[in-house]
Amino acid sequence: MKLSPEIYKEFEEIVGPRYISQDPGVLETYRCMPAQSSAHYGPYWDHMTPTPMAVILPGCTEEVQGIVRLCNKYKIKFKAGGSFWGAMAYIGSDYSIQLDMRRMRKIEIDVKNQLAIIDPYVNGAMLQSEAMKYGFSCNIPGVGCSSSIVASASGWGGVGPSTVCSGGHKENLCALEWVLPNGELLRTGTAGSGDGWFCGEGPGPSTRAFLTASMGVCGEMGVVTKMAMRLYPWPGPAVLPSTGTVPAYKAALPDNFRCYTVCFPSWDMWAKALTMCYDSDLVYLGHRQFNMFGRDLKGAMIRILTDPDKQLCDLEELLSDPEVKRQTEEMKLEFQIVLAGYTKRDMELKEAILQEILKECDAWLSSMMLEPDIENWALLYLIRLGHKNLNYVMCGSYEGNFGLNPNLWVSASYMEEAAAFKKQWEDTHTSIVKNGGDSEMGSFSFTGGGGAVGWEFFVDFDAYDKDSVTGACDFIDETEKWMAERHLGGDMGRSNKYLRQPNGYDWPQEKHNELFSKVPQPHVFAYQWKVREAINPNLLGGSYYRTLDPEMIPENKR
Amino acid sequence: MALKDFLPQMYRCSSCANCKFIPFDKVQSARFSENCPSICYFSFHSYAARGRYQLAKALVEERLEFTDNIVDVIHNCTSCGACDVACKVCRYNLDVLDHNLELKAYAVEKGHAYPRQKEMIGSLKSEQTMIPGMKKKDRAGWADGLKAKDLSKEKAEVAFFAGCKYSYDPELQKIARADLELLLKCGVDAGLLGAADNCCAGRAYQMGFFDDFRDRAEKNIRAFEAAGVKTIVTPCSDCYHAFKRLYAKLGMDIKVMHFVEYLESLINDGRIKFTKQLPMTVTYHDPCHLGRLGEPYIPWEGKDKKILNQVLVYEPRKPRYNGAYGIYDAPRNILRSIPGLRLAEMERIREYSWCCGAGGGISETNPDFSSWTAGERITEALSTGAEAIVTACPWCESNLRSSQAEDGRKLPVFDIAELVLKAL
Ligand SMILES: Cc1cc2nc3c(=O)[nH]c(=O)nc-3n(C[C@H](O)[C@H](O)[C@H](O)COP(=O)(O)OP(=O)(O)OC[C@H]3O[C@@H](n4cnc5c(N)ncnc54)[C@H](O)[C@@H]3O)c2cc1C
Ligand code: SF4
Ligand code: SF4
């Protein structure tokens, strides 16, 4: 479907001919394969998200507003995207246009208020590098520093290794500027009362929860054009020192930074150590990161990644190396932490606390991860989060599943059983990578200070191999059942299954009504319906915003 | 490989967008965080390596027909390889630059080339140069009067190969001349190729004219062999890349050195001694084809296989070109050895250097894009406080000289040999 020449002209007048296209070649590159980056609703072979009618690159808030107003005039659906990594950034219906925010990229550091006012295209690396010049850093979600901060904060999650110390994006979000889906411009918090950007709640309208919800609104409710994000202290140099031969870059940081891989004899001790870390405010960054390569493979993979001359073809030889085997076994149950001392005494205190935790939890430090080159590599990896495409290193695609999130102790008690379940599939099917069952990866906490954990098991598959894709999909179906049988909540690999159909299109409202009328709290979705009615009367978003027609709330729950 | 052979890569590219940025570990500022001239200038996703995979996938799967715009997307790539390096920070089974080039070749094969490109290829065939308007008979004029051996008549240790740009560009000819004079003065047994001195055709390859490249390259290799060439020394980074990587792949077994490598060895051997101070601050621009694309060719024949159910590996080990072993230190060592000279580095250097904009024939086919790209580099160079930008490739030099920074400022541009000569 194409825009009529008249409508195209109207859009063109807003952004100029250089920043709009309906060339089929350009449009084709704004589509997503659910066999590749489905982001927790697939993977599905042989489908793609729909082709937009046009792609538009606005350069400022006024242009965004002009575009959205035109969309309302002609009832055209629209969606904004930042890096376009996951499926949620792509449109889900035919009569739609795609906004690419890459022209909007300003950063202003407000040193006094310890925050940054940023445009939508600013990603983690851009913001962190600018913030470091002033002695700050920013929260970078686990997706890595290639992702837009605005997209992560408004459109999705925004949690990662730094969150335990810095807080997640939603906690750090101050005032923002937002073109509502009806074309109105809303400045929230202090930005709404002309008092600057330092507070999201006011004086001024406090509506950020409408936008962010619990997981963000995935670009279905207008376009955020500016956002103030709280920064946190960075006790390191103004430029992140990065040395070494590509790709084995490493950071040579001063002594007030250390990266440790803490290893445990049991999941109980693992969980206990985590709570001790929370209680003592110990860590600057915390993640179980490298286990994403799998319990059996992580040692060998780290050897490959820290040696510029090694490749995946060295994996088998490394796996049979007794020393690598020993080192891998040594860090079977582990997590990574970065300690950062603000003063010499602070660092000494932190080291002492760590020793206490090791003693209390019968824990030890991985010797391999203390090798200087490896420690410096891990430091850089965790601080910048610039290697996140390693998620796909094995064969080109992965999906995170299980997602044992309810409670640290409950989750920990199921970890081995989940790992064994996955291992059995790896041993009996060829569709997913055989990496030892436990390939759980996740950050210390979804919130600042600790508490809510977010763990996913990496299921690596080949997006080019139909059997691998469908096999991975089958496996996730199985784990969904496994989770349900144990009353552990939804499987992470299926957490978006009602947001987009397998064929890449939006679900119709009837499907949302059918589903959300059955949930324990249907009012949540009925309320979201009302929000949508108020600010998105022409329904220009898609089905990533979960709504229930209030008429469909079951009688017994009204 | 044909374009369809890249189909697995098109599926396995994970849409991570890393190919639009320098390796993130190296980002020092938002301003200079990006790496791909093509998407930076044209803005749409299609112009980045990821977009190129998606575009090619639709073409191969016959869901898309060529449009003028698609042809523009495909050809407006400087073949600089910055995307390739960035992608390979994490990925071991994608060859992004090879794919970009194959996509160009696919377009050319289907008859979708620019008239200007055809002119360049026409000139390659008729006058053995890809600079249209230049004549074969004038090629050696830059060396008139120099006492270099003629390799068609006698043997020499080193064949000095100036390349088209140095041979024909009146502003740059003096540099080639000075280079050769320096070699001769240092007692190097150097000569010129005479009739066998023809365009390396590397740009034909960079533009996707693979057949024309191969044709010229094979003729050149035969001519080099007939002249008994042992070592080729060239001050042109494009020629260096063509000989070192592309000709080697075609079976040429002749030692290839860039002039900076040779120069460094002459300084180390004490055959070049500096007598003058050069009190200035300069910054060094890594030419793509000397730096990240300057790694030597390693023969490989093999296939891919899966281990551990789905992990994709190559058997035997496949050479991995990711810029790790390009030529970065020789030019820097030379600059550091010049008395009084201070080297101020830009943010984007070595394997993650920003392209000058001349690659892929873009300086001929899209001068605005090419000049904008060079202007970005000058802006970055100025941000270091340098008084001049130094490089080791005539295409970079010419492009940087004719362009200006975003604020309209210009910066003196030197070939590294010019500075060496000043300090002798
Ligand atoms: C490999 C991978 C790993 C991930 N790991 C994590 C993780 O550990 N923690 C976590 O929190 N998340 C994670 N995610 C999800 C990730 O945070 C989101 O995908 C993130 O928002 C991506 O940012 P982006 O620049 O890629 O945005 P895009 O993918 O381009 O967009 C993300 C969403 O934001 C919307 N959006 C973009 N710009 C705007 C705007 N200006 N206004 C309104 N809406 C907008 C888009 O429509 C889309 O719905 C992961 C995703 C992937 C692909
Ligand atoms: S080409 Fe490489 S860097 Fe670019 S999106 Fe694909 S996987 Fe990522
Ligand atoms: S080769 Fe250079 S110009 Fe071409 S897509 Fe890659 S980074 Fe961009």
- Chain segment A114-166, per-residue pLDDT in tens: 999 999 999 999 999 999 999 999 999 999 999 999 999 988 889 999 999 99
Instruction: Establish if B64 touches chain A: CB-CB under 8 angstroms.
Output: yes
Residue B319: the pLDDT is 96
Residue A42: the pLDDT is 94
A129/B18 Cβ within 8 A: no
B24/A145 Cβ within 8 A: yes
Instruction: Establish if A387 touches chain B: CB-CB under 8 angstroms.
Output: yes
Using the atom order of ligand 3, give the atom closest to the CA of residue B37: 3
- Chain A CB contacts of B318 under 8 Å are 311, 313
**What is the nearest CA distance from A465 to chain B, expressed in angstroms?**
9
Restricting to A residues 60-79, those with a Cβ less than 8 Å away from any Cβ of B are none
Tell me, what amino acid is at B371? S
* Closest residue to A26, CB basis, from B27, B44, B89: B44
Give per-residue pLDDT as tens, B174-184. Answer: 999 999 999 99
Residue A166: DSSP 8-state: H
With residues binned 3-state (H G I as helix, E B as strand, rest as coil), the percentages for chain A, rounded to 5, are: 40, 15, 45
CATH placement of domain A5-100: 3.30.43.10
pLDDT at A213 over 80: no
Contact A297/B308 with Cβ under 8 angstroms?
A: yes
Distance of CA A354 to the CA centre of its chain: 28
Instruction: Establish if A139 touches chain B: CB-CB under 8 angstroms.
Output: no
Residue B266: the pLDDT is 97
- The per-type count for chain B, helices as H runs and strands as E runs, is 19, 11
Residue A222: DSSP 8-state: -
Q: How far is CA B89 from CA A3, A246, B49, B83, B394, in A?
A: 40, 7, 14, 10, 29
The residue in chain A having the minimum alpha-carbon distance to the alpha carbon of residue B314 is A313
- HSE of A530, CA atoms in CB hemisphere, 13 A: 7
Query: The tokens of A255 are what?
Result: 């002594």
Length of chain A counted residue by residue: 558
Instruction: Establish if A376 touches chain B: CB-CB under 8 angstroms.
Output: no
Distance of CA B283 from the midpoint of ligand 2 (Å): 30
d(CA B410, CA B404): 5
Residue B56 near ligand 2, beta carbon < 6 Å: no
pLDDT at A405 over 80: no
- The per-type count for chain A, helices as H runs and strands as E runs, is 18, 20
Residue B28 near ligand 2, beta carbon < 6 Å: no
The CATH architecture that domain B125-268 belongs to is: 3-Layer(aba) Sandwich (3.40)
Q: Whose CA is nearest to atom 6 of ligand 2?
A: B13
> Rg (Cα) of chain B, in Å, rounded?
21
The rounded mean pLDDT for chain A is 95
> Rg (Cα) of chain A, in Å, rounded?
24
Distance of CA A107 from the midpoint of ligand 3 (Å): 26
Report the pLDDT averaged over residues B259-275.
Answer: 97
A23/B67 Cβ within 8 A: yes
Domain residue ranges of chain A, discontinuous segments joined by +: 5-100, 107-233, 257-494, 509-557
- Chain A CB contacts of B7 under 8 Å are 464
Residue B242: the pLDDT is 98
pLDDT at A454 over 90: no
d(CA B13, CA A554): 45
d(CA B177, CA B172): 9
* Closest residue to A246, CB basis, from B11, B23, B307: B23
Lowest mean pLDDT among A28-32, A201-205, A296-300, B205-209: A201-205
Angle between helices B68-75 and B96-109 (to 10 degrees): 140
pLDDT at B312 over 80: yes
Which SS3 state, helix, strand or coil, does residue B111 take?
coil
Report the pLDDT averaged over residues A13-25.
Answer: 98
* Closest residue to A25, CB basis, from B73, B308, B313: B73
Distance of CA A36 from the midpoint of ligand 2 (Å): 12
pLDDT at B41 over 80: yes
Q: pLDDT-based confidence at A443, cuts 50/70/90?
A: confident
Interface test with B, best of A2, A18, A23, A29 (most B CBs within 10 A): A29
CATH placement of domain A257-494: 3.40.462.10
Within 8 A by CB and 6+ apart from B299, the residues are B249
Which SS3 state, helix, strand or coil, does residue A253 take?
coil
Q: Using alpha carbons, select from B98, B8, B3, B6 the residue that is nearest to residue B312.
A: B8
Looking at CATH, the fold of the domain delimited by B273-291+326-424 is given as Rossmann fold (3.40.50)
Q: How far is CA A42 from CA A22, A432, A550, B122, B422, in A?
A: 28, 14, 29, 51, 64
Residue A453: the pLDDT is 80
Report the pLDDT averaged over residues A520-549.
Answer: 94
Angle at B332 between CA B326 and CA B333, to 5 degrees: 105
pLDDT at B29 over 90: yes
Query: The tokens of B72 are what?
Result: 């523009």
% residues pLDDT > 70 (chain B):
100
Distance of CA B293 to the CA centre of its chain: 7
B51/A29 Cβ within 8 A: yes
Residue A212: the pLDDT is 72
Q: Using alpha carbons, select from B24, B26, B25, B21 the residue that is nearest to residue B345.
A: B26
Instruction: Establish if A173 touches chain B: CB-CB under 8 angstroms.
Output: no
Residue A181: DSSP 8-state: T
B93/A126 Cβ within 8 A: no
* Closest residue to B11, CB basis, from A36, A85, A146: A36
Give per-residue pLDDT as tens, B42-62. Answer: 999 999 999 999 999 999 999
pTM of model > 0.90:
yes
* Closest residue to A100, CB basis, from B14, B24, B45: B45
Query: The tokens of B278 are what?
Result: 């050069």
Residue A214: the pLDDT is 63
Q: Using alpha carbons, select from B174, B15, B414, B49 the residue that is nearest to residue A31.
A: B15
B23/A23 Cβ within 8 A: no
Q: Which residues line ligand 1 (CB under 6 A)?
A: A 37, 39, 79-86, 88-89, 101, 120, 141-143, 147-148, 150-152, 154-160, 218-219, 223-224, 391
d(CA A386, CA A248): 12
Distance of CA A125 from the midpoint of ligand 1 (Å): 15
Interstrand relation of A257-263 and A242-243 (parallel, antiparallel or unpaired): unpaired
Q: Whose CA is nearest to atom 4 of ligand 2?
A: B19
C-beta neighbour count of A344 within 10 angstroms? 10
Query: CATH topology of A5-100 equal to that of A107-233?
Result: no
ipTM entry: 0.97
Looking at CATH, the fold of the domain delimited by A107-233 is given as 3.30.465
